[in-house]
Amino acid sequence: MASLATNPSKKAIRDSDSQTTRSSSGQTVKFARRTSSGRYVSLEGDDLDMSGEIHGDYMNYTVHIPPTPDNQPMDSSVATKAEEQYVANSLFTGGFNSVTRAHLMDKVIDSKVSHPQMTGSKGSACGMPNCDGKVMRDERGNDITPCECRFKICRDCFMDATKGSGLCPGCKEPYKIGDYDDDDDRTDMKSGRLPLPGIEDSKMDRRMSVMNSNNNKSMLLRSQTGEFDHNRWLFETKGTYGYGNAFWPQDGMYDDDEGDEGLQGGMVETADKPWRPLSRVIPMPAGIISPYRLLIAMRLVILGFFLSWRLQNPNEEAMWLWYMSVICEVWFAFSWILDQIPKLCPVNRSTELDVLRDKFDMPTSYNPTGRSDLPGVDLFVSTADPEKEPPLVTANTILSILAVDYPVEKLACYISDDGGALLTFEAMAEACSFADLWVPFCRKHDIEPRNPDTYFNLKGDPTKNKRRLDFVKDRRRIKREYDELKVRINGLPDSIRRRSDAFNAREEMKMLKHMRETGGDPLEPVKVQKATWMADGTHWPGTWSVGSRDHAKGDHASILQVMLKPPSPDPLMGCADEKIIDFTGVDIRLPMFVYVSREKRQGYDHNKKAGAMNALVRASAVLSNGSFILNLDCDHYFYNCKAIREGLCFMMDRGGEDICYIQFPQRFEGIDPSDRYANNNTVFFDGNMRALDGVQGPFYVGTGCMFRRFALYGFDPPNVNKMVKNGDQETHALKPTDFDPDLDVTMLPKRFGNSTILAESIPICEFQGRPLADHPAIKYGRPPGILTVPREPLDATTVAEAVSVISCWYEDKTEWGDRVGWIYGSVTEDVVTGYRMHNRGWRSVYCITKRDAFRGSAPINLTDRLHQVLRWATGSVEIFFSRNNALLATKKVKFLQRLSYINVGVYPFTSLFLIVYCFLPALSLFSGHFIVRTLSVTFLLYLLGTTLCLIGAAILEVKWSGIALEEWWRNEQFWLISGTSAHLAAVLQGLLKVIAGIEISFTLTSKSAGDENEDAFAELYMVKWTSLMIPPIVIGMVNIIAIATAFARTVYSSTPQWNKFIGGAFFSLWVLTHLYPFAKGLMGRGGKTPTIVFVWSGLIAITLSLLWIAVSPQKSPVAAASSGFQFP
């Protein structure tokens, strides 16, 4: 157990010894460890009698550790591993007006933890008397014995011994590293396979000393800078190296398949290779794009003449009908221009993954070790409610991230649990435990996709393209382990409830016993809080199932747990006897994984998802500071394990320094084959977004987006010509003021908060995210090879700082949410955030990969789909009435990009005109009039020309976007359905917010965990009533009644006027055809419609019909015969 004040990093301490601010105070750490007997043992060996506490949550014992060199008794490697183990096994909590605490957890989940990187991973029992601690473990999970006598000792007892006498409690001798070899550690010189440090289980890593010995052979292998001395190792072992410092394997050494392509014993070509770009822009074929633009221009001209003719030829017999139709047609033409004109410049792009690998992952003259020179990437996953977002779905997403094809040491995954639920916490811990097998299995057999649920449900032959003979056996074992994982995660709610009930009953018994001993009234009811308990028998600091103060939704402390500590910088190969699967020759390391639940308190506006994402931005800046951030929803997973590399091909290419984000298209699973409600939205993702890629870049649409961290901090893109005019400055890190001249250094806390570590990380992430300066044309880049240095290990002080920056008070009086990070004030914070970046001059790129980068789920139920569209449309209305309206954009936004952003804020208002236009055919049938006086040849020619241009443009758009014609038609149908329901409601809600200040609240879209025994499309047939269904139902019923009424009137008329009926009926059928998917949704699976549907629709339709009869009574037969329109 530990309690930490907010402290600076070690770097900050070296730079300044006298800082006294909140984030830069002197280093004061409070440590105490809780034993299984309930006693607390300090690091000095004194017992702190705390047995009187019922819960035994926290007790502080202060130890002042001045940051001076003379107070460092341990060797740095031992201190580092001890600190890493402490951080990885501690649950950090804190918040407003509270001390940051580190709760040392002996047990995270009920099941066994095996991976040495994971929280709760412990070694053997400590050999000290009366100590229940566990021995430290190395990267491979073996016990670390600091003394040559191999006396097993835990971290705390080891620190006590070294601070005291410095003698080993086992042999009573000073700590030193013995010069002896293990049989299993001897190098196989005959095969020529020499183990590099960190790859094999070296003695130096397993037995570390706190004393420096000049006679120690192992320590001599370290250079004066602390790095491994490759030259000395090469001399002493008589090993051989190939090109650079990378060991060159002989042919057949690893029993590769004969058909496997490789270098076959040859050397890497040392001659300079021609410089190649990482990405290419592929223009659209002229045979498609030129006619497409021509048809758009022709339709624009025809629309102009048509509207001019309509204004010059009013229908004097029904001016009200003419006015309504003309106003609607003018608005539809304006809306069509906003939507169509930005589509004039679509482009395709391609990436060169082989070139990326050669530049960043292969040994070169500037990177002889062959370590990856790629920048760090932080991945964000957000979840808020485990009831609507099943933990199993989130766990599968996390597993796909941990198994992604990217350098392990460069990755860091963060999950934001905005609900602070223990269920999510333990589900993530279970996922990390299963990742110990799943991730190496994916690497060994090149598995795609790397979501286990999706992979095991794939149809087809799983052995296709698999060359290893043990694949079937491995897959069977992994499938069995995954089935057990699903059982454990699905059983967590009951497990947590039973555990909490047992501990609460124990507390009640203790309270009753205490009352009897103190002579209390036995009839008085026992009042014990119904707490939620963790697996180690302590209170969960987040939300309890029975809410109470400081433990309810919207009122709990900050929680941060490093569930998987940062991996070692070099590959760690598996062995045959370590796991149930043989992972020999497979890297078994896992990326860093952090659980984060930001602090929430009553009275604070936490800004929903945008606030949670900003908390992750700050926490990740302190812990890992990846130059790029990729955010995913909890139900979107990696379908392509190389997606990150695909995105970096644009970011790290020449000219990529001004790219703010890479947006990937959203692809969905579980959609019905007919895509009844246009859930795939391919017209938008493959049409509109691809077209914007040729202008200034696509919108940010919430998930599947890779950001440049520096762009999220609110800076303008670098002005290359201005920054490189002073010589070779482009290869050096710059200060924040170099990017924003108006930014005063003293004002950094006002913009970013008062965290010194966060402020120091800004120029670092900018510098590391630059393209590689490997070509004279790259004027703004970084030198090759500088990112091959391992990152600094985590310490308790750094993690405590991360807890501080996710507190609810941190954003007060800063620019977070206004200029920095995700922007607040809209339910569609994604579009606003992307717009702000484009408004500062950044550009974005749309990355469509051959294999879908990500896949997720979408609501296939009609009600859920309408509510989803309602949320998007309401956000657009908010944008229209805010300062984020593109009409107010700067000159840095290109004209076509500005039109597209204007359309984002305008499109919901089309519903006002669309709903009127859908009633016009029925009104025409009821009244016997039409929108024009007569169906003249001019009107029909204009109508025919506009329709033909529309059809031709649609066919060509389908051609260059790659979508199917059926998908285009489904999109048109749902455009009318949503336009007459959700968009109309969004306009009304937006106006209420602007005029009356009524806030809008939305619920999360439920994600299905998927049941193998249920129908995959069961939700499609569920009918859940919502008021959004009323307008489409009324439109459909009124048009059906109008057709029936007009038909009966025509049939029974003495002089039938069939031309009147055909004109109105044609447009009514056009409306009903678009509403067909909506009608099928109301029928459900068995064709049954809820009674309330008929009640509402019947009442409203009859009321409107009676109202029309009262306003415009039926004319006499003679007058009716003389009125109306005639076919020419």
| DSSP summary character for residue 715 | P
Distance between CA atoms of 338 and 332, rounded to whole angstroms?
A: 10
Identify the active-site residue in 418, 570, 635, 693: 418
Q: Tell me phi and psi for residue 660, to 5 degrees.
A: -85, -35
Amino acid at 1066: F
Say if residues 286 and 959 touch (Cβ distance below 8 Å).
no
Active site residue 182: no
Instruction: Show the tokens assigned to 907.
Output: 């499109």
Distance between CA atoms of 109 and 119, rounded to whole angstroms?
A: 10
Task: Return the closest-CA partner of residue 1025 out of 833, 862, 806.
Answer: 862
Orientation of helix 862-880 relative to helix 895-906, angle to 10°? 120
CA distances from 42 to 52, 60, 156, 843 (A): 17, 9, 9, 55
Distance between CA atoms of 553 and 551, rounded to whole angstroms?
A: 7
Task: Return the closest-CA partner of residue 857 out of 1026, 1085, 642, 639.
Answer: 639
Contacts of 694 (CB under 8 A, 6+ apart): 345, 346, 347
CB atoms under 10 Å from CB of 338, counted, come to 18
> Residues for the chain: how many in total?
1128
Three-state secondary structure call for residue 1070: helix
Distance between CA atoms of 753 and 883, rounded to whole angstroms?
A: 24
Say if residues 23 and 756 touch (Cβ distance below 8 Å).
yes
Distance between CA atoms of 811 and 827, rounded to whole angstroms?
A: 19
HSE-up (13 A, CA, CB side) for residue 596: 32
Q: Strand 854-857 to strand 555-556: parallel, antiparallel, or no bridges (unpaired)?
A: unpaired
CA distances from 1118 to 170, 1054, 1114 (A): 118, 10, 11
Distance between CA atoms of 356 and 646, rounded to whole angstroms?
A: 9
Give the H/E segment covering residue 377: strand 377-383
Task: Return the closest-CA partner of residue 399 out of 564, 252, 157, 553.
Answer: 564
Active site residue 257: no
End-to-end alpha carbon distance in the chain: 91
What distance lies between CA 901 and its chain's CA centroid?
24
Angle (CA) 615-617-618 rounded to 5° is 70
Identify the active-site residue in 453, 830, 852, 864: 830
Active site members:
418, 830
